[in-house]
Amino acid sequence: MSILCYAADMSLRIALLGLLDATGPASGYDLAKSFERSLNHVWQAGHTQIYPELVKMAADGLVAVESEGARGRKIYAITPEGAERLRSWLIEHEPTGAIRSEVALQAFLLPLLDKESAIAVVERIRARLQQRLAVLECKDPSKFGRYALNLGLSQGRSGLAWADETLAELRGLEPADQPAPAT
Amino acid sequence: MSILCYAADMSLRIALLGLLDATGPASGYDLAKSFERSLNHVWQAGHTQIYPELVKMAADGLVAVESEGARGRKIYAITPEGAERLRSWLIEHEPTGAIRSEVALQAFLLPLLDKESAIAVVERIRARLQQRLAVLECKDPSKFGRYALNLGLSQGRSGLAWADETLAELRGLEPADQPAPAT
DNA sequence: GCTGCCATGTAAACCGTTACATGATTGG
DNA sequence: CCAATCATGTAACGGTTTACATGGCAGC
């Protein structure tokens, strides 16, 4: 609305500014790799989103092309203005707790399934969570993103605990409690 | 690609089918209310998304207008085809673990802030999590969505625990460990 | 010379939010 | 009669994904 009202979300911008601030100048390609490696469990973005966004951010003065290397490689650096924008977002932005989780949606709808199917679904969810957790557990906890890593570990473990409790509950159900196995 | 490859996500469809299956025929308005009340911590959708989607779903034969009530109220019911689509999604769909969380992004970037600011950010996150948790704790655990409710409670509590640990760690830091408070 | 990775981009489609718009009904 | 709520929708915008497209360089 007002000129002070920036676009709704901007989290992609913030993530890019954060990476540039934390690890120094980088190309779009580097940033895409960083997303995959370090930011993966927190935010995702592919190169097709990153390249145009960097151009817009440069137009807004938040980053600048520091140098151009081999093969048309363009190295972006964060500007002081960008660093300030990053800090003020961190300090001022009230994060929306809103979550869209396919896992949670499946959990919500579990009662629609018969016992066997529900158990199979939860087992698959459990396997998936375990796999994700294993990836996080391999990461270096002394690195930059360690607070988010701890958060991911904590959430992953609590998801696993939920899956185990739910499996126990489902297995303990009397067959009579089940919905009809549908025609 | 092939005619068997349905649109990528469809979670909104699934959520709508799930509500119709679980609680019987309903209007778009009712469904929007249900989203707010029961599905809020799992998936969000406003009426502006729901109305057009119901029209498309009716065109695809997954729901049907069962009756039209007062004030142009249209009551949709799930069709057998819709019920089958719902069940096969639940059983077959491998949920993507991908998460985009502004809270986690802030956690990731915490080391960019000086000690005082970082503590303030985590305290705000903690307050927000507590508030969400309080909402969930008021819900009836015997209702339809109770598996998802348990999951939400579990995740909320682990988030709170993370915030407390992180605050303790930040408060215990030597001032020397801090980044320069930025000109 | 070919394969594979580095490196950058565009275009179309889709999903989701915000703002806008309309009218009926109920209760005070 | 007025306000609140019921009830439905459209339009524009912005963010995200998928597919398409191009070319340089390194090693075999």
For the CA of A31 and the C1' of C20, the distance in angstroms is: 39
Residue A59 in any domain: the answer is yes
Q: Are residues A14 and A73 in the same domain?
A: yes
User: Are B82 and B127 within one domain?
Assistant: no
| pLDDT, tens only, B50-65 | 999 999 999 999 999 9
Return the residue matching tokens 């002394």: A142
**Packing angle between helix B102-109 and helix B146-172, nearest 10 degrees?**
20
Same domain for B71 and B138, yes or no, is no
Residues of A in contact with B148 (CB under 8 A): 104-105, 107-108, 110
Helix (H) or strand (E) holding A137: helix A115-137
Question: What is the residue-wise DSSP string for A83-97?
Answer: HHHHHHHHHH-----
Place A6 in a pLDDT band, splitting at 50, 70 and 90.
very low
Q: Within a domain: residue A182?
A: no
Asked if the structure places residue A106 within a domain, the reply is: yes
Please name the member of B15, B98, B105 whose beta carbon is closest to the beta carbon of A105.
B15
pLDDT in tens, A73-116: 999 999 999 999 999 999 999 998 888 999 999 999 999 999 99
Residues A12 and A84 in one domain: yes
Q: What is the predicted pLDDT for the residue at A3?
A: 36
CA distance B73 to B28: 8
- 3-state SS, residue A78: strand
- Residues of B in Cβ contact (< 8 Å) with A151: 103-104, 107, 159, 162
Q: Give yes or no: residues B72 and B116 share one domain.
A: no
Q: What is the domain range of residue B150?
A: 102-177
B183 located within any domain? no
Answer whether 0.85 is exceeded by the pTM.
yes
Residue B1, pLDDT > 60, answer: no
A97 domain-assigned = no
Q: Which tens digit of pLDDT belongs to each residue from B63-119?
A: 999 988 777 799 999 999 999 999 999 999 999 888 899 999 999 999 999 999 999
Q: Does residue A172 sit within a domain?
A: yes
Q: How many domains does chain A have?
A: 2
| Residues A16 and A84 reside in one and the same domain | yes
> Which residues does residue B68 pair with via DSSP β-bridges, in sequence order?
B74
Q: Are residues A111 and A133 in the same domain?
A: yes
Query: Which of 102-161 (B) contact A at CB < 8 A?
Result: 102-113, 117, 120-121, 124-125, 128-129, 132, 144-148, 150-152, 154-155, 157-159, 161
Q: Are residues A69 and A130 in the same domain?
A: no
Last residue in a domain, options A60, A92, A124: A92
CATH code, B41: 1.10.10.10
* pLDDT of amino acid B8: 60
Q: Find the CB nearest A101 among B42, B102, B113.
A: B42
Q: Which residues on chain B are in Cβ contact (under 8 Å) with A132?
A: 97
